[in-house]
Amino acid sequence: MIRWILAVVSLVCVVASSPAQDWQPVTEALIVAEKPGFGKLCGVAVDHQTGHVTINLSDKGLYRSTDQCKSWQRIGMPFKGRTETPGCLMLDPFGGKRLVSALVYGASILVSSDRGETAKALDKKSMHVDWCAVDWSDADMKFILTLKHESGDLLLVSRDAGKTFDEVGKGYGPAWIFDNQTAVVAQAKSKAILKPGLLRTTDAGKTFEPCGDFHAKALPRWHKDTLYWLVEGELISSRDQGKSWQPIGNLKGGRFGPIFGKSADHLFVLTQAGIVESTDAGKSWSKAILAPKGMKSVAPLSWVEYDPLSDTLYIMTMGSELYRWQRK
């Protein structure tokens, strides 16, 4: 009887902890072969239409896998620098082939029309930036916002597709651009701004007006016709270019996301506890899927991605391996 009870307990423990144990590292050989710079693996993006995985290796450039990370191919020319802020390696949210990447300690913002096979660097003033927001609705992407790295949250703006950049000022956080005039940007918390909120511009960053009493650190995410923003303690959304915001639900310790799955109702968010999943548009959330043991914990520079075609989750933090969990 005692042996039977111990066997059942052991089985229950394995089932309860299986999400953490099912993660598989998929970049070990690549990192050893390529010998990237400080930060090693530093960014990931998944094309939800094809399942192709694109990663950034520090000081080496972009690599892509078309076979669920069984093999990797270099994309385009190598470049110096690395991605850091989760989400700053961006694929066109409208389904096109454009790719944009913000980089620190290296190249300027890179813009590609063919998923990174070729890319152009914007003006050198866009070097050493945490993230950038571009006008995906404009083929030329003339309106750009970007934040200088370790510079007092200094926001820069370009209105000529990155040929020149001007300083907006300090004290800003992440942003999203809707069209060539309209954008939203978060304020950064500081001694001068104890209760940061959201701001909106309708003149391409010349002036800003308050549009929400929310504190945001994560980059906002676009899906279909809606902008989603992970703010302190909850997830919110806007369908009117940031004029108003609707609460989706409380969410403790949100870090990055949402990442969308098979429908607008299916989403994942990375929290301090791990990845939580919702299948009812954020009304309820699953228990946290634990990060892999090799990652140790979820950190500010942790990323999560999802391939809806194969029901596969990906997770990494700067300096770790890329981990894959195919759930089928």
Please write the tens of the pLDDT for every residue from 85-141. 999 999 999 999 999 999 999 999 999 999 999 999 999 999 999 999 999 999 999
- Positive/negative CA dihedral, 130, 64, 312, 267: positive
Whether residue 157 is contained in a domain is answered as: yes
CA distances from 60 to 35, 46, 63, 74 (A): 8, 19, 9, 9
Q: Which stretch of DSSP H or E encloses residue 2?
A: helix 2-21
For position 21, what pLDDT does the model report? Answer: 55
- What residue numbers bound the domain in which 105 lies? 23-326
Q: What is the CATH number of the domain that holds 278?
A: 2.130.10.10
Residue with tokens 């960053």: 205
Q: Is the pLDDT of residue 57 over 50?
A: yes
pLDDT digits (tens, 9 = 90+) for 253-290: 999 999 999 898 999 999 999 999 999 999 999 999 99
Q: Is residue 43 part of a domain?
A: yes
155/143 Cα distance (integer angstroms)? 13
CB of 157 within 8 A of CB of 175? no
CA dihedral 165, 166, 171, 173 (to 10 degrees): -30
Q: Is 73 exposed, middle or buried (0-12, 13-18, 19+ CB in 10 A)?
A: exposed
Give the whole-angstrom CA distance, residue 296 versus residue 146.
31
Q: How many CA atoms lie within 13 A of 316 on its CB side?
A: 32
Tokens of 52: 């192709």
In a domain, 115, yes or no: yes
HSE-CB of 102 using CA atoms within 13 angstroms: 25
Which residues sit opposite 264 in a β-bridge? none
Does residue 1 lie within any of the structural domains?
no
pLDDT over 90 percentage in the chain: 89
Phi first, then psi: what are they for 186, rounded to 5°?
A: -85, 150
Preceding amide of 258 cis, omega within 30: yes
Paired residues of 147 in beta bridges? 131, 155
Q: Does residue 321 or residue 21 have the better pLDDT?
A: 321
Look at residue 220 and tell me if it is in a domain.
yes
* Residue 261 covered by a domain: yes
Q: Exposure string (b/e) for 216-226, b if CB count within 10 Å is 16 or more?
A: bbbbbbebeee
Is residue 256 in a domain? yes
pLDDT at 114: 97
d(CA 296, CA 298): 7
Contact 54, 47 (CB under 8 A): yes
pLDDT of residue 327: 87
For residue 246, the one-letter residue type is Q
Q: Does 7 reside within a domain?
A: no
Residue 230 and residue 158: Cα distance in Å, rounded? 26
Token pair belonging to 241: 């270019």
Count of domains for the chain: 1
The mean per-residue pLDDT over the stretch 198-220 comes to: 98
Decide if pLDDT at 154 tops 90: yes
Spatial contact of 321 and 25, defined as CB atoms under 8 Å apart? yes
Query: Structure tokens of 161?
Result: 């597709």
Measured CA to CA, the distance from residue 152 to residue 328 in angstroms comes to 45
Helices (H) and strands (E) in the chain, counts: 2, 27
pLDDT band at 150 (very low <50, low <70, confident <90, very high): very high
Q: So what's the pLDDT on residue 13?
A: 37
Q: 192 pLDDT band (50/70/90 cuts)?
A: confident
Segment 29-50 shows an average pLDDT of: 97
Give the mean pLDDT of 300-318. Answer: 97
User: Is a pLDDT exceeding 90 seen at residue 210?
Assistant: yes
Q: What is the pLDDT of residue 16?
A: 39
Instruction: Render pLDDT for 252-263 as a digit per residue (tens, 0 to 9).
Output: 999 999 999 989
Residues shown for the chain: 328
DSSP codes of every residue in 31-56: HHHH---TTSEEEEEE-TTT--EEEE
89 in helix, strand or coil?
Answer: strand
Q: Which of 237, 231, 233, 201 is nearest to 214 (CA)?
A: 231
* pTM > 0.95: yes or no: no
- Res 204 pLDDT > 80: yes
- Over residues 4-20, the pLDDT tens digits come to 333 333 333 333 344 45
